[in-house]
């Protein structure tokens, strides 16, 4: 899908194009979402650039992600997607600055794109260009990463209270639920940190290229501010990863303590029943006067007692959540 954004007074308007129609010359932002070969060619003809393929975008070496070609700056970053769902993921997004136009190539829908689109549709700078749109997109990505880390921190605190202060939580989930929650938060934190590292590289590349692109001083100041934010958020993501690892170790320690207590109960029960078992083994219960031998229903009663003796411990273990 090809989306084109053109300045219209104080706003940046999205223009609908018929299939095969080239983007207008006034376009400052061209957004390619899972583009077709025909859409790639239209953008290449307008901007005089080569649009990278999905395979090229997924390469991890820096030289393939940050480079200058035919006067255009290519920057590929890893961004978060579906962070509020049960299956968050990362996706590669390429930003191409060709002159004062911005082209973005993506195969997913990171939320910062929708946020920036709605913001610029309400109001945009008088002389909006691809440079300002790129700055807004990167700023929205950093803000979004901060929001995700804040949510992770709050969730990790709740898990911590559930582990160490279960009586104050009005009950707690099973150990499996807590371990799964910790695993999900650790995975999400690692993805956010990966995204921040990638965005930090893009910002460093832009800072080095800003002089050659003749960016104004306030734009370069904004770049430096975003770089500081990325560094601080990366440190916070590292802290959260360490906290998740600590809670995982603590949870495993709690599980081991519970298992040791259960084994201790089994050991005490075995010691208590060992002397009666020894006496019964020696004498074999072969006595002349045994009233039970004369009972008409003695055998079914004995079978019922055996079954009951097996069921009652099982139910007790289930009630104590040992099984």
Per-residue model confidence as pLDDT tens for the chain (323 residues): 788 888 887 888 888 776 667 777 778 888 888 888 888 888 888 778 888 888 888 887 877 888 888 888 899 999 999 888 888 899 999 999 888 888 899 999 889 888 988 888 888 877 888 888 888 999 999 999 999 999 999 999 988 888 887 665 544 557 788 888 888 999 999 999 999 999 999 999 888 887 777 778 888 888 899 999 999 999 999 999 999 999 988 888 888 887 787 788 778 777 777 777 777 776 666 667 777 777 788 788 888 888 887 788 778 877 877 66
pLDDT, residue 168, reads 57
Task: Please name every residue paired with 103 in a beta bridge, in sequence order, or none if there are none.
Answer: 30, 96
Dihedral in degrees, nearest 10, Cα atoms 52, 58, 60, 62: 20
- CA angle centred on 81, ends 198 and 138, rounded to 5°: 45
pLDDT, residue 234, reads 93
pLDDT, residue 282, reads 67
Dihedral in degrees, nearest 10, Cα atoms 223, 204, 132, 34: -140
3-state secondary structure 148-180: HHHHHHHHHHHHHHHHHCHHHHCCCCCHHHHHH
The tokens for 181 are 């929650």
pLDDT, residue 236, reads 94
H/E stretch holding 322 reads none
- CB-based burial, 11-41: b 16+ in 10 Å, e otherwise: ebeeeeeeeeeebeeebbbbbbeebeeebbe
Pick the CATH number of 2-256 from 3.30.460.20, 3.40.1280.10, 3.40.1190.20, 3.40.50.800: 3.30.460.20
Task: Check: CB of residue 241 under 8 Å from CB of residue 249.
Answer: no
Identify the residue whose tokens are 């770089």.
227
The residues near 136 (Cβ < 8 Å, ≥ 6 apart) are 116, 119, 120
The residues near 233 (Cβ < 8 Å, ≥ 6 apart) are 142, 145, 146, 149, 196
Cα-flanking dihedrals φ and ψ of residue 76, to 5°?
-110, 125
Q: In 10 A of CB 111, how many CB atoms?
A: 18
Nearest to 323 by CA among 265, 178, 315, 155: 315
CA distances 221 to 33, 120, 207, 210, 302, Å, are 31, 21, 10, 11, 87
Going across the sheet that includes 29-33, the strands are: 11-15, 2-8, 29-33, 101-106, 89-98, 72-81, 66-69
């Amino acid at each position: 899908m090809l989306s084109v954004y053109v300045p219209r007074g104080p706003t940046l308007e999205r223009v609908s194009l018929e299939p095969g129609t080239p983007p207008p010359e006034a376009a400052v932002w061209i957004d390619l979402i899972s583009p077709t070969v025909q859409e790639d060619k239209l953008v290449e003809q307008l901007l005089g650039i080569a649009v990278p393929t999905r395979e090229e975008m997924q390469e991890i070496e820096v030289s393939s992600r940050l480079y200058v070609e035919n006067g255009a700056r290519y920057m590929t970053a890893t961004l978060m997607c579906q962070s509020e769902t049960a299956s968050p993921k990362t996706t590669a997004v390429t930003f191409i600055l060709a002159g004062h136009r911005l082209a973005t190539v993506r195969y997913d829908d990171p939320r910062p794109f929708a946020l920036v689109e709605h913001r610029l549709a309400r109001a945009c700078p008088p002389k909006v260009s691809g440079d300002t749109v790129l700055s807004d997109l990167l700023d929205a990505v950093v803000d979004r990463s901060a929001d995700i880390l804040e949510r992770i921190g709050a969730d990790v605190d709740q898990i911590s209270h559930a582990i160490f202060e279960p009586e104050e939580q009005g009950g707690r989930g099973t150990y499996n639920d807590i371990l799964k929650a910790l695993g999900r938060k650790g995975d999400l934190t690692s993805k956010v940190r990966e995204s921040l590292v990638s965005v930090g590289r893009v910002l460093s590349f832009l800072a080095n290229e800003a002089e050659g692109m003749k960016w104004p001083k306030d734009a370069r100041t904004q770049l430096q501010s975003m770089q500081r934010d990325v560094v601080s958020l990366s440190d916070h993501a590292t802290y959260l990863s360490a906290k998740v690892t600590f809670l995982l170790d603590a949870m495993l320690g709690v599980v081991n303590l519970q298992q040791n207590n259960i084994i201790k109960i089994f050991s005490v029960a075995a010691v208590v029943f060992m002397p009666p078992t020894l006496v019964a083994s020696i004498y074999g219960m072969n006595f002349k006067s045994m009233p039970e031998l004369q009972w008409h229903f003695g055998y079914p009663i004995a079978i019922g007692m055996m079954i009951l003796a097996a069921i009652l411990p099982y139910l007790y273990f289930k009630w104590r959540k040992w099984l």
